[in-house]
Amino acid sequence: MSVNASHVIFSVDWQAPPLSALNFDPNDEAVCGPAGAWKAATVSVFQGDQSIITTNYVTDYLRAILPSNETQPSDWVLLHWYNDYIVQEVTMDDTNSSVPIPGSLLEKFSAFPLLNCTTDICKNLDWTGDPDVSGRGMLITYYIAAALVTLYFFALTLSGEGFFKLHLPAGSKRAWLLAGFEESASTFLDATLIFAVSMLAAACFRLSEAFFQEYDDSSSHWMIYASIGSIYMSTFSSLLPLLLQLSAHGVRHHWLRVVLWTLIILLGIANEVLYDYFFGKAEFYVFSQLRDLLENVWLDLCSPIKLLDNGLDPTLRIAQILLVVNAICYVIWMRLRGRPDNLAGWPRLKLFWQRVSPYIKLLNMLLCCSVMWAMLAFFHVYRDKVNEAAGSDNQNSDWTFGQVLSVATWVPVGVEFATVLKYGPEEGLGKKISRKYTIVASNSFDYDEKREMQYSRVETGLSNL
């Protein structure tokens, strides 16, 4: 092999053309396809323990940029051109790192796909997605939960006004339909609380992985997409029990619900701290380690940054503010609830609160419902844009066993609703408890913590077995 000022001669049969003769046409799909595949392969090398890329990426790219009237050399000749000449055109920068010589073929070879073939780079990255958060089954679960919560919200809000109870016969189908929403609200609330805690705990684990990613020698993969989806949809899941808790009336207080709400608050705080640290440890999501180069390329070229900044991030913050404000208001209400009426100014303040609280509560519920649906819509669009950028060959839309189980989360709610709808409130609820007890309807629609609904124990003989 001999080298001159413009090209390399490998044999008497073929010589490399000069840089000016090579085909770097950004409008030529035959060039961008191999160029994007080569760039994606070189970036992915640093993600794992690999040190080389397969030869077909190199040879395909080199053949694509050769002039059409050029004699096509063998793969062995192209590889020697690449290894012994092109990759040697490097110099050292201020950080003692190797960079291409300005104006060299290596600089053009490396920069061309980044500037002109980003779509092909994204589709060739080793991107697997996050089916546990954004799979088809999970998306169906989110929509089912949001639809059910919205339906319960409107039904329970209307029933709370008392109009239906005054104008509907007690044994009518419409009254039973309304009773189905009222009597299954408690089960639905428990299901949404458990779902929210599970989502938050999973997000905390995922964000902890991202937190320790820079200290771990293993090759963590796609922590950006996984972290965004985890904290966003776990916060979305927290709005489900909040809206249901606000709209459901007559639901008994239970220590387990207090524990679950406490876990939601603590896990939400932990997730926010981990999330802010993960994305704030360097300027604009930049990771310093070489093995994070693939993450940086994906974020800069493939991720819908405008949607993140103008859609996901604002709605995430609004949802977090709603959760914090409601938690603070609940604590204040618990502190003031037992105050005596003879305190100075308290009766007047209490009367004012009784007048305005229904409107504030309704506004709060409408805001929670709107933010809940906005978050679901933004996440769906975000997921579709990422799938479009990554191409069809990824696992982001796959069904997994866990997703099937997540869809089944809401089955008990439907069963209880159908039972009450079929048999009526008293008989429907009575079928859920032991034969030693019976359901007795309360005469008052106002819930009193000191006066629980009456349960009468009835003795059963062998004839009832």
Give residue limits of the domains in the chain.
Answer: 2-124, 131-425
Q: Is the pLDDT of residue 329 over 80?
A: yes
As a whole number, mean pLDDT of residues 342-362 equals 72
CB neighbourhood size of 94 (10 A):
6
More confident residue, 307 or 428: 307
Residue 87, judged by CB atoms within 10 A of its CB (0-12, 13-18, 19+), counts as middle
Q: What is the pLDDT of residues 50-64, one digit of tens each?
A: 556 678 889 999 999
Query: Tens digits of per-residue pLDDT, 427-465?
Result: 666 666 667 766 766 655 444 444 444 444 444 444 443
Residues whose CB is less than 8 angstroms from the CB of residue 30 and which lie 6 or more positions away in sequence, other chains included: 64
Angle value at C-alpha 85, between 83 and 88, nearest 5 degrees: 80
Q: What is the pLDDT of residue 462?
A: 41
Instruction: Please give the pLDDT value at position 319.
Output: 96
Quote the pLDDT of residue 52.
61
- Asked if residue 257 has pLDDT above 50, the reply is yes
* 3-state DSSP of 158-199: HHHCCHHHHHCCCCCHHHHHHHHHHHHHHHHHHHHHHHHHHH
Find the mean pLDDT for residues 342-365. 75
pLDDT of residue 324: 93
The pLDDT of residue 19: 86
More confident residue, 136 or 284: 136
The band of 1, judged by pLDDT with boundaries at 50, 70 and 90, is: very low
Cα–Cα dist 16/8, whole Å: 5
Give the pLDDT confidence score for residue 226 in this predicted structure: 83
Say whether pLDDT at 320 is over 70: yes
Tens of pLDDT along 202-250?
999 888 877 676 555 444 455 788 889 999 999 999 999 999 999 987 6
Strands (E), 306-454: 437-439
Q: What 3-state class would DSSP assign to 274? A: helix
Contacts 24+ apart (CB under 8 A), 68-75: 68/23, 70/17, 71/13, 71/14, 73/10, 73/13, 73/14
Average pLDDT over residues 342-369: 78
How many residues are there in the chain? 465
pLDDT over threshold 90, residue 143: yes
Burial of 288 (0-12, 13-18, 19+ CB in 10 A): exposed
Q: Which residue has the tokens 């459901």?
A: 248
pLDDT at 380 over 80: yes
More confident residue, 92 or 274: 274
β-pairing verdict for 2-3 and 8-9 = antiparallel
pLDDT at site 151: 93
Q: Which residue has the tokens 């991030």?
A: 313
pLDDT score, position 271: 92
What is the radius of gyration, based on Cα positions, of the chain? Answer: 31
Mean pLDDT of 270-293: 66
Q: Is the predicted pLDDT of residue 2 greater than 50, yes or no?
A: no
Query: What pLDDT score does 452 carry?
Result: 47
Q: Give pLDDT, residue 12.
A: 46
Alpha helices in 391-464 (DSSP H): 401-407, 411-423, 425-430
- What's the confidence (pLDDT) of residue 93? 64
Largest CA distance in the chain: 107
Average pLDDT taken over every residue of the chain: 78
pLDDT of residue 210: 72
Q: Provide the pairing of β-strand 90-92 with 455-457.
A: unpaired
Tokens of 431: 């079928």
